[in-house]
Amino acid sequence: MLKQMLQKEFILVLRDKHSLAALFIMPFFFILIMSMALKDTFTNERALLIYEIVDLDNSQESKMLQDFMSTSSFLQRVDSKDSSDTHLSITIPKSFSNALLEKERQEPLLQLSAAPDVKQEMIMIFQAKLSADIMRLRLMQIQKKIAPYIPDASQLNLDRFHNEKLFDIDYRRMQDNEQPTSTQQSVPSWIVFGMFFVIIPMSTVFINERKQKTLMRLASMNISIPALFTGKVLPYLLINQLQVLLMIAAGVYIVPLLGGDALTPGHSLAGLALVSISLSFAAIGTSVLIATLAKTVEQATTVGGLINILFGAIGGIMVPKFYMPESMQKFANISPMSWGLEGFLDIFLRGYGIKEILPEAMALCGFGLCLLLLAATILSKRLRG
Protein backbone atom coordinates (compact mmCIF):
# COMPACT_ATOMS: atom_id res chain seq x y z
CA MET A 1 0.00 0.00 0.00
CA LEU A 2 2.82 2.40 0.91
CA LYS A 3 4.49 1.65 -2.42
CA GLN A 4 1.35 2.82 -4.28
CA MET A 5 1.08 5.93 -2.09
CA LEU A 6 4.74 6.79 -2.77
CA GLN A 7 4.39 6.21 -6.52
CA LYS A 8 1.22 8.28 -6.68
CA GLU A 9 2.68 11.27 -4.80
CA PHE A 10 5.89 11.19 -6.87
CA ILE A 11 4.01 11.11 -10.17
CA LEU A 12 1.72 13.95 -9.03
CA VAL A 13 4.65 16.13 -7.93
CA LEU A 14 6.63 15.41 -11.10
CA ARG A 15 3.64 16.47 -13.21
CA ASP A 16 3.10 19.69 -11.26
CA LYS A 17 5.51 22.19 -12.84
CA HIS A 18 4.71 24.96 -10.35
CA SER A 19 5.55 22.73 -7.41
CA LEU A 20 8.78 21.60 -9.02
CA ALA A 21 9.75 25.23 -9.54
CA ALA A 22 9.01 26.07 -5.89
CA LEU A 23 10.79 23.00 -4.55
CA PHE A 24 13.90 22.90 -6.71
CA ILE A 25 14.36 25.91 -9.00
CA MET A 26 13.58 28.66 -6.46
CA PRO A 27 16.09 27.53 -3.78
CA PHE A 28 18.65 26.69 -6.49
CA PHE A 29 18.59 30.26 -7.84
CA PHE A 30 18.54 31.74 -4.34
CA ILE A 31 21.70 29.77 -3.54
CA LEU A 32 23.44 30.98 -6.69
CA ILE A 33 22.36 34.60 -6.31
CA MET A 34 22.99 34.94 -2.56
CA SER A 35 26.32 33.08 -2.65
CA MET A 36 27.55 35.48 -5.32
CA ALA A 37 25.94 38.60 -3.83
CA LEU A 38 27.38 38.07 -0.34
CA LYS A 39 30.72 36.70 -1.55
CA ASP A 40 32.77 39.76 -0.58
CA THR A 41 31.14 40.08 2.82
CA PHE A 42 32.98 36.98 3.99
CA THR A 43 36.39 37.64 2.34
CA ASN A 44 38.99 40.41 2.66
CA GLU A 45 39.32 40.86 -1.08
CA ARG A 46 37.11 43.92 -1.23
CA ALA A 47 37.74 47.30 0.43
CA LEU A 48 35.28 47.90 3.24
CA LEU A 49 35.72 51.68 3.24
CA ILE A 50 36.51 54.23 0.58
CA TYR A 51 38.20 57.40 1.82
CA GLU A 52 39.81 60.58 0.60
CA ILE A 53 42.55 62.73 2.13
CA VAL A 54 42.76 66.51 1.95
CA ASP A 55 46.34 67.31 2.92
CA LEU A 56 46.72 70.95 3.96
CA ASP A 57 50.03 70.32 5.72
CA ASN A 58 51.98 68.80 2.85
CA SER A 59 54.71 67.82 5.27
CA GLN A 60 56.93 64.74 5.35
CA GLU A 61 54.80 63.43 8.27
CA SER A 62 51.50 63.95 6.46
CA LYS A 63 52.92 62.12 3.44
CA MET A 64 54.07 59.27 5.67
CA LEU A 65 50.62 58.99 7.26
CA GLN A 66 49.12 58.66 3.77
CA ASP A 67 51.64 55.93 2.93
CA PHE A 68 50.82 54.04 6.11
CA MET A 69 47.10 54.24 5.38
CA SER A 70 47.59 52.96 1.85
CA THR A 71 49.04 49.64 3.12
CA SER A 72 45.64 48.48 4.39
CA SER A 73 43.70 46.14 2.09
CA PHE A 74 40.32 47.01 3.58
CA LEU A 75 40.72 50.73 2.85
CA GLN A 76 40.63 52.26 -0.60
CA ARG A 77 41.78 55.82 -1.23
CA VAL A 78 40.20 57.91 -3.96
CA ASP A 79 40.96 61.38 -5.29
CA SER A 80 39.11 64.32 -3.75
CA LYS A 81 37.29 65.00 -7.00
CA ASP A 82 35.60 61.57 -6.77
CA SER A 83 34.43 62.37 -3.26
CA SER A 84 30.76 61.65 -3.96
CA ASP A 85 31.47 57.91 -3.47
CA THR A 86 33.61 58.18 -0.35
CA HIS A 87 32.58 56.89 3.04
CA LEU A 88 35.11 59.00 4.97
CA SER A 89 37.11 62.11 4.35
CA ILE A 90 40.28 62.99 6.35
CA THR A 91 41.48 66.54 6.51
CA ILE A 92 45.11 66.89 7.62
CA PRO A 93 45.40 70.47 8.98
CA LYS A 94 48.38 72.73 8.27
CA SER A 95 49.75 72.32 11.76
CA PHE A 96 49.68 68.49 11.67
CA SER A 97 53.42 67.76 11.74
CA ASN A 98 54.07 70.31 14.48
CA ALA A 99 51.15 69.20 16.60
CA LEU A 100 52.07 65.49 16.53
CA LEU A 101 54.01 65.63 19.79
CA GLU A 102 52.31 68.61 21.39
CA LYS A 103 51.19 67.94 24.94
CA GLU A 104 48.19 70.25 24.93
CA ARG A 105 46.40 71.03 21.72
CA GLN A 106 43.49 73.40 21.13
CA GLU A 107 42.35 71.60 17.96
CA PRO A 108 42.11 67.85 17.21
CA LEU A 109 45.01 66.39 15.25
CA LEU A 110 42.83 65.41 12.27
CA GLN A 111 39.33 66.17 11.01
CA LEU A 112 37.14 63.23 9.93
CA SER A 113 33.97 63.60 7.93
CA ALA A 114 31.73 60.53 7.46
CA ALA A 115 28.90 59.84 5.04
CA PRO A 116 25.59 59.35 6.89
CA ASP A 117 25.19 55.69 5.80
CA VAL A 118 28.52 54.51 7.25
CA LYS A 119 28.05 52.03 10.08
CA GLN A 120 29.48 52.83 13.49
CA GLU A 121 31.59 49.67 13.54
CA MET A 122 33.22 50.72 10.26
CA ILE A 123 34.09 54.15 11.69
CA MET A 124 35.58 52.43 14.75
CA ILE A 125 37.72 50.12 12.54
CA PHE A 126 38.91 53.17 10.57
CA GLN A 127 39.70 55.10 13.77
CA ALA A 128 41.70 52.16 15.12
CA LYS A 129 43.79 52.01 11.96
CA LEU A 130 44.30 55.77 11.96
CA SER A 131 45.28 55.79 15.66
CA ALA A 132 47.84 53.01 15.06
CA ASP A 133 49.38 54.94 12.15
CA ILE A 134 49.56 58.20 14.15
CA MET A 135 51.17 56.29 17.01
CA ARG A 136 53.73 54.97 14.56
CA LEU A 137 54.45 58.51 13.35
CA ARG A 138 54.83 59.74 16.94
CA LEU A 139 57.23 56.92 17.78
CA MET A 140 59.31 57.86 14.73
CA GLN A 141 59.41 61.50 15.86
CA ILE A 142 60.32 60.49 19.42
CA GLN A 143 63.03 58.23 18.03
CA LYS A 144 64.41 61.18 16.05
CA LYS A 145 64.34 63.49 19.09
CA ILE A 146 66.05 61.09 21.53
CA ALA A 147 68.63 59.80 19.03
CA PRO A 148 71.30 62.43 19.96
CA TYR A 149 71.07 61.41 23.61
CA ILE A 150 70.64 57.62 23.22
CA PRO A 151 72.63 56.50 20.18
CA ASP A 152 71.12 52.95 20.24
CA ALA A 153 67.66 54.40 19.75
CA SER A 154 68.35 55.18 16.10
CA GLN A 155 69.22 51.52 15.57
CA LEU A 156 65.70 50.51 16.57
CA ASN A 157 63.74 49.38 13.51
CA LEU A 158 60.22 50.67 14.16
CA ASP A 159 58.90 49.20 10.90
CA ARG A 160 59.65 45.78 12.33
CA PHE A 161 57.02 46.36 15.03
CA HIS A 162 54.55 47.46 12.49
CA ASN A 163 55.07 44.61 10.03
CA GLU A 164 55.35 41.97 12.71
CA LYS A 165 52.60 39.35 12.55
CA LEU A 166 51.25 39.35 16.08
CA PHE A 167 48.49 36.78 15.69
CA ASP A 168 47.04 34.21 13.35
CA ILE A 169 43.35 33.51 12.85
CA ASP A 170 42.17 29.93 12.89
CA TYR A 171 38.47 29.32 12.36
CA ARG A 172 37.34 26.88 14.99
CA ARG A 173 36.69 23.33 13.74
CA MET A 174 37.66 24.30 10.21
CA GLN A 175 40.68 22.97 8.33
CA ASP A 176 43.91 25.03 8.35
CA ASN A 177 43.66 28.00 6.03
CA GLU A 178 39.92 27.39 5.62
CA GLN A 179 37.57 30.36 5.98
CA PRO A 180 33.76 30.63 6.30
CA THR A 181 32.30 31.75 2.97
CA SER A 182 29.03 33.17 1.72
CA THR A 183 28.24 29.77 0.18
CA GLN A 184 28.49 28.12 3.63
CA GLN A 185 25.94 30.66 4.86
CA SER A 186 23.64 30.74 1.82
CA VAL A 187 23.24 27.04 1.05
CA PRO A 188 21.79 26.10 4.49
CA SER A 189 19.48 29.13 4.51
CA TRP A 190 17.89 28.40 1.18
CA ILE A 191 17.76 24.65 1.72
CA VAL A 192 15.69 25.33 4.86
CA PHE A 193 13.46 27.82 3.04
CA GLY A 194 12.96 25.51 0.03
CA MET A 195 12.08 22.51 2.20
CA PHE A 196 9.08 24.30 3.72
CA PHE A 197 7.67 24.83 0.22
CA VAL A 198 6.40 21.22 0.21
CA ILE A 199 3.21 23.02 1.26
CA ILE A 200 2.46 23.70 -2.44
CA PRO A 201 2.36 20.15 -3.85
CA MET A 202 1.09 18.67 -0.61
CA SER A 203 -1.85 21.05 -0.19
CA THR A 204 -2.75 20.80 -3.90
CA VAL A 205 -3.05 17.01 -3.68
CA PHE A 206 -4.50 16.86 -0.17
CA ILE A 207 -7.21 19.50 -0.60
CA ASN A 208 -8.29 18.02 -3.94
CA GLU A 209 -8.44 14.61 -2.27
CA ARG A 210 -10.70 16.08 0.38
CA LYS A 211 -12.90 18.11 -1.95
CA GLN A 212 -13.34 15.31 -4.48
CA LYS A 213 -14.12 12.87 -1.64
CA THR A 214 -11.11 10.75 -2.60
CA LEU A 215 -10.16 10.71 1.08
CA MET A 216 -13.63 9.43 1.88
CA ARG A 217 -13.24 6.77 -0.79
CA LEU A 218 -9.83 5.80 0.61
CA ALA A 219 -11.34 5.57 4.09
CA SER A 220 -14.09 3.31 2.70
CA MET A 221 -11.25 1.12 1.36
CA ASN A 222 -9.98 0.61 4.93
CA ILE A 223 -7.17 3.19 4.67
CA SER A 224 -6.75 4.60 8.19
CA ILE A 225 -5.66 8.17 8.96
CA PRO A 226 -2.23 7.03 10.29
CA ALA A 227 -1.72 5.05 7.04
CA LEU A 228 -2.90 8.03 5.01
CA PHE A 229 -0.49 10.37 6.86
CA THR A 230 2.38 7.89 6.50
CA GLY A 231 1.61 7.88 2.80
CA LYS A 232 1.97 11.67 2.83
CA VAL A 233 4.99 12.00 5.15
CA LEU A 234 7.24 9.40 3.47
CA PRO A 235 7.12 10.71 -0.12
CA TYR A 236 7.70 14.31 0.94
CA LEU A 237 10.46 13.21 3.31
CA LEU A 238 12.21 11.70 0.28
CA ILE A 239 11.47 14.76 -1.87
CA ASN A 240 12.99 16.97 0.86
CA GLN A 241 16.13 14.78 1.00
CA LEU A 242 16.42 15.05 -2.78
CA GLN A 243 16.20 18.85 -2.41
CA VAL A 244 18.98 18.84 0.20
CA LEU A 245 21.24 16.68 -2.00
CA LEU A 246 20.68 18.80 -5.10
CA MET A 247 21.20 22.09 -3.23
CA ILE A 248 24.41 20.80 -1.65
CA ALA A 249 25.55 19.66 -5.10
CA ALA A 250 24.77 23.16 -6.42
CA GLY A 251 26.91 24.66 -3.63
CA VAL A 252 29.78 22.23 -4.22
CA TYR A 253 29.87 22.12 -8.03
CA ILE A 254 27.86 24.96 -9.61
CA VAL A 255 28.62 28.00 -7.39
CA PRO A 256 32.42 27.67 -8.06
CA LEU A 257 31.75 27.60 -11.82
CA LEU A 258 30.28 31.09 -11.45
CA GLY A 259 33.26 32.37 -9.48
CA GLY A 260 31.87 31.80 -6.00
CA ASP A 261 33.36 29.75 -3.19
CA ALA A 262 32.62 26.02 -3.14
CA LEU A 263 30.58 24.62 -0.27
CA THR A 264 32.38 22.26 2.09
CA PRO A 265 29.61 20.07 3.48
CA GLY A 266 31.18 19.42 6.89
CA HIS A 267 32.50 16.17 8.25
CA SER A 268 29.40 14.50 9.73
CA LEU A 269 27.22 12.77 7.16
CA ALA A 270 25.08 11.24 9.93
CA GLY A 271 24.59 14.68 11.50
CA LEU A 272 23.63 16.12 8.13
CA ALA A 273 21.10 13.32 7.58
CA LEU A 274 19.64 13.79 11.07
CA VAL A 275 19.15 17.54 10.78
CA SER A 276 17.79 17.16 7.26
CA ILE A 277 15.23 14.49 8.20
CA SER A 278 14.17 16.35 11.37
CA LEU A 279 13.68 19.60 9.47
CA SER A 280 11.73 17.77 6.79
CA PHE A 281 9.46 16.34 9.48
CA ALA A 282 8.77 19.87 10.80
CA ALA A 283 8.12 21.20 7.27
CA ILE A 284 5.76 18.31 6.46
CA GLY A 285 3.92 18.71 9.79
CA THR A 286 3.37 22.41 9.05
CA SER A 287 2.22 21.64 5.50
CA VAL A 288 -0.21 18.87 6.53
CA LEU A 289 -1.78 21.09 9.21
CA ILE A 290 -2.21 24.02 6.81
CA ALA A 291 -3.61 21.71 4.12
CA THR A 292 -6.05 20.24 6.67
CA LEU A 293 -7.25 23.63 7.88
CA ALA A 294 -7.46 25.38 4.50
CA LYS A 295 -10.65 25.15 2.49
CA THR A 296 -9.13 25.72 -0.94
CA VAL A 297 -5.77 25.15 -2.62
CA GLU A 298 -5.42 28.92 -3.14
CA GLN A 299 -5.98 29.52 0.57
CA ALA A 300 -3.40 26.89 1.52
CA THR A 301 -0.72 28.12 -0.87
CA THR A 302 -1.26 31.77 0.10
CA VAL A 303 -1.29 31.12 3.86
CA GLY A 304 1.53 28.58 3.51
CA GLY A 305 3.64 31.02 1.50
CA LEU A 306 3.05 33.79 4.04
CA ILE A 307 3.94 31.53 6.97
CA ASN A 308 7.11 30.42 5.17
CA ILE A 309 8.16 34.02 4.53
CA LEU A 310 7.45 34.96 8.17
CA PHE A 311 9.32 31.91 9.49
CA GLY A 312 12.17 32.80 7.12
CA ALA A 313 12.29 36.49 8.06
CA ILE A 314 12.17 35.76 11.79
CA GLY A 315 14.44 32.71 11.62
CA GLY A 316 17.46 34.33 10.01
CA ILE A 317 16.94 33.06 6.46
CA MET A 318 16.48 36.44 4.76
CA VAL A 319 18.72 38.40 7.13
CA PRO A 320 21.47 36.36 8.84
CA LYS A 321 21.02 36.27 12.60
CA PHE A 322 24.44 37.82 13.27
CA TYR A 323 23.20 41.04 11.63
CA MET A 324 20.23 41.19 14.03
CA PRO A 325 20.23 42.97 17.41
CA GLU A 326 20.40 40.66 20.41
CA SER A 327 16.68 40.89 21.18
CA MET A 328 15.82 39.88 17.60
CA GLN A 329 18.33 37.04 17.74
CA LYS A 330 16.48 35.69 20.77
CA PHE A 331 13.12 36.20 19.05
CA ALA A 332 14.43 34.30 16.01
CA ASN A 333 14.49 31.14 18.12
CA ILE A 334 10.69 30.85 17.92
CA SER A 335 10.95 29.94 14.23
CA PRO A 336 11.50 26.26 13.34
CA MET A 337 13.44 27.51 10.32
CA SER A 338 15.95 28.98 12.77
CA TRP A 339 16.37 25.59 14.49
CA GLY A 340 16.94 23.92 11.12
CA LEU A 341 19.30 26.64 9.96
CA GLU A 342 21.36 26.40 13.16
CA GLY A 343 21.51 22.63 12.67
CA PHE A 344 22.82 22.99 9.11
CA LEU A 345 25.27 25.75 10.14
CA ASP A 346 26.52 23.47 12.95
CA ILE A 347 27.34 20.86 10.30
CA PHE A 348 28.54 23.05 7.41
CA LEU A 349 30.13 25.97 9.19
CA ARG A 350 31.07 24.88 12.69
CA GLY A 351 32.06 21.31 11.83
CA TYR A 352 29.90 19.79 14.57
CA GLY A 353 28.46 16.27 14.64
CA ILE A 354 25.33 14.43 15.81
CA LYS A 355 25.81 15.18 19.51
CA GLU A 356 25.78 18.95 19.04
CA ILE A 357 22.76 19.07 16.71
CA LEU A 358 20.64 16.71 18.83
CA PRO A 359 18.71 19.52 20.62
CA GLU A 360 17.72 21.14 17.30
CA ALA A 361 16.81 17.76 15.77
CA MET A 362 14.62 16.85 18.74
CA ALA A 363 12.89 20.24 18.72
CA LEU A 364 12.15 19.91 14.99
CA CYS A 365 10.83 16.34 15.32
CA GLY A 366 8.68 17.31 18.32
CA PHE A 367 7.29 20.31 16.45
CA GLY A 368 6.48 18.19 13.37
CA LEU A 369 4.88 15.44 15.46
CA CYS A 370 2.65 17.89 17.40
CA LEU A 371 1.37 19.47 14.17
CA LEU A 372 0.76 16.07 12.56
CA LEU A 373 -1.22 14.88 15.60
CA LEU A 374 -3.26 18.09 15.56
CA ALA A 375 -3.94 17.69 11.82
CA ALA A 376 -4.91 14.01 12.30
CA THR A 377 -7.38 14.94 15.07
CA ILE A 378 -8.99 17.67 12.95
CA LEU A 379 -9.15 15.49 9.82
CA SER A 380 -10.59 12.56 11.72
CA LYS A 381 -13.38 14.78 13.11
CA ARG A 382 -14.12 16.20 9.65
CA LEU A 383 -14.19 12.81 7.92
CA ARG A 384 -16.58 11.43 10.51
CA GLY A 385 -18.97 14.38 10.02
Partner 1 sequence: MISINNICKRYNQHTALDDINLTVSKGCILGLLGPNGAGKTTLVSILNGLTPYQSGTISIFGLSLHDNLPEIRRRSSFIPQSFAFYENLTVMENLRFFAGIQNIKNGQAKNVISQAIAINRLEAMLNKRANSLSGGQKQRLNIAIGLLNNPEVIYLDEPTAGIDPELRNSILQTIRSFKDAGKTIIYTSHYMQEIEQICDEVAIIRQGRIICHETIEKLLNKENGTSNLETIFLQLTASEEAPC
Stretch binding partner 1 (CB under 8 A), from 21-29, 83-91, 221-229, 234-242: 221-229
DSSP state of 52: E
Does residue 216 belong to the site contacting partner 1 (CB under 8 A)? Answer: yes
- Strand-strand pairing, 75-77 and 49-55: parallel
Does residue 377 belong to the site contacting partner 1 (CB under 8 A)? Answer: no
CB of 223 to partner 1, least distance (A): 6
Stretch binding partner 1 (CB under 8 A), from 8-16, 44-52, 88-96, 165-173: 8-16
User: Which residue of 17, 152, 159, 221 would you call a contact of partner 1, by CB under 8 A?
Assistant: 221
**Helical H runs in 15-169?**
17-20, 26-37, 60-70, 96-99, 120-146, 158-163
Stretch binding partner 1 (CB under 8 A), from 117-125, 215-223, 273-281, 302-310: 215-223
CB of 212 to partner 1, least distance (A): 5
CB of 210 to partner 1, least distance (A): 10
312 Cβ neighbours under 8 A, 6+ residues apart: 192, 193, 196, 318, 335, 337
User: Which residue of 144, 217, 267, 330 would you call a contact of partner 1, by CB under 8 A?
Assistant: 217
| The length of the chain, given as a count of residues | 385
Phi-psi region of 213 (alpha: psi -120 to 50; beta: other; left: phi over 0): left
Does residue 219 belong to the site contacting partner 1 (CB under 8 A)? Answer: yes
Which is nearest to 364 in space by CA: 322, 335, 321?
Answer: 335
Instruction: State which residue, 27 or 231, has the beta carbon closest to partner 1.
Output: 231
Given CA atoms 6, 11, 14, 16 in this order, what sign does their dihedral have?
Answer: negative
User: Which residue of 4, 84, 157, 177 would you call a contact of partner 1, by CB under 8 A?
Assistant: 4
Does residue 22 belong to the site contacting partner 1 (CB under 8 A)? Answer: no
- CA distance linking residue 17 with residue 24, whole number of Å: 10
Binding mask 174-213 for partner 1 (x = CB under 8 A): -------------------------------x--x--xxx
Does residue 382 belong to the site contacting partner 1 (CB under 8 A)? Answer: no
Report CA-CA distances (Å) from 75 to 50, 90, 120, 122. 6, 13, 16, 11
Instruction: State which residue, 26 or 383, has the beta carbon closest to partner 1.
Output: 383
User: Which residue of 81, 160, 355, 384 would you call a contact of partner 1, by CB under 8 A?
Assistant: 384
Which is nearest to 308 in space by CA: 189, 181, 134, 142?
Answer: 189
- Cα 319 from chain centre: 7
Does residue 378 belong to the site contacting partner 1 (CB under 8 A)? Answer: no
Phi, psi at 112, each rounded to 5°? -110, 135
In the range 292-311, which residues lie near partner 1 by CB under 8 A? none
Which residues would be at the binding site for partner 1 (CB under 8 A)? 1, 3-5, 7-8, 11-12, 15-16, 205, 208, 211-214, 216-223, 383-385
